[in-house]
Chains A and B, each alone.
Chain A
Amino acid sequence: MNIFAHFLLNYVLVSAIYGNPNNYLWLIIIFSVFIDLDHIPYILKVKTSLIKKKFGSESRTRFHELYGITFFSLIFSILIFFFDTKSIQIAALCLMLHYAADLLVGKSRPFYPYIKKEIFLGILPEKYRIKFEFIFTILMVVIIWIFLLN
């Protein structure tokens, strides 16, 4: 899923669960998108053929899979004792929703690097993925515009 859709989805859900998402805006932005930084080595590797190859499961490192989920959840479980509980919860929510959204719409290799088998849930046929992401992003903007900014 694109980074705008990740951010907008997380913004809506943080608003629904905790209220006042603008108080945690930077936290939402950072934890919605920072895991996608692992695409950078892939972008540098494929360069001009990125449009053709797109962001498949091979564009992700282990931190984008179960390994990352375990690693970051353990970190959050330690940080909760030292920092503001609500901030840690919002950071964890944004990160876990990122994993959930990526799993629901695209292909992934959850057990990478131990088992490299690729999986696809099939809820959304792959040929509609780009169109769905576009419509979903617009829908999130509309929801925020109507319900949260007014």
Chain B
Amino acid sequence: MDIPIKLNFVKRFREIIDAPILLLPLPNINPNIISGLSVITSILFLLFLKKPIIAFIFLLFTLIFDWIDGIIARKYNSTSDEGYIVDVICDRISESLMFIPFFIPWFILFALNSLLLMISIRIGKHISLPLRHAFLIYYLVIYVI
């Protein structure tokens, strides 16, 4: 089976969003390491749950790492099938960890997102829900503000 490809409108949306960031002098770091950092910040988010502002900062870092790994890969022409797999698996594991204390409905949504990824692999088209972005707003509104 081949690696699932991203939908055209998602690709175009990312190109528009990423364009200004690509102009910045980003460090030439292995994007897989940055993806891995997003898993570590998810664990730190859990550790600081009792301090919502610190937890929110780690949540923000998780999303920033997830965002810039792809940008750095594109900037230094290091996009690959391996990079795609690393990015996707780090996203799912990061989601799973962050959503456990908020089980209903977040962890259940993660389980469905994970199932969606399995379907994506079978049909060859990448489909996933931006759950952590929605969770960021939820966490900010309910726990920080």
- Chain A positions within 8 Å of B, measured between CB atoms, are 13, 16-17, 66-67, 69-70, 73-74, 76-77, 80, 85, 88-89, 92-93, 96-97, 99-100, 103-104, 108, 110-111, 114-115, 117, 119-123
Residue contact B96 to A122, C-beta cutoff 8 Å = no
Residue contact A70 to B32, C-beta cutoff 8 Å = no
Residue contact A13 to B43, C-beta cutoff 8 Å = yes
CA distance A85 to B103 in the complex (A): 9
Residue contact A66 to B118, C-beta cutoff 8 Å = yes
CA distance A92 to B85 in the complex (A): 23
State whether the Cβ of B1 lies closer than 8 Å to any Cβ in chain A: yes
Between B2, B32, B40, B114, the greatest number of chain A beta carbons within 10 A of the residue's beta carbon is seen for B114
State whether the Cβ of B90 lies closer than 8 Å to any Cβ in chain A: yes
Cβ–Cβ < 8 Å partners of B117 in chain A:
66, 70
CA distance A76 to B2 in the complex (A): 30
Q: List 18 A-B contacts (CB under 8 A).
A: A17-B49, A66-B89, A66-B92, A70-B111, A73-B96, A80-B108, A89-B100, A93-B100, A96-B97, A96-B100, A97-B97, A99-B93, A103-B36, A111-B121, A119-B85, A121-B33, A121-B90, A122-B30
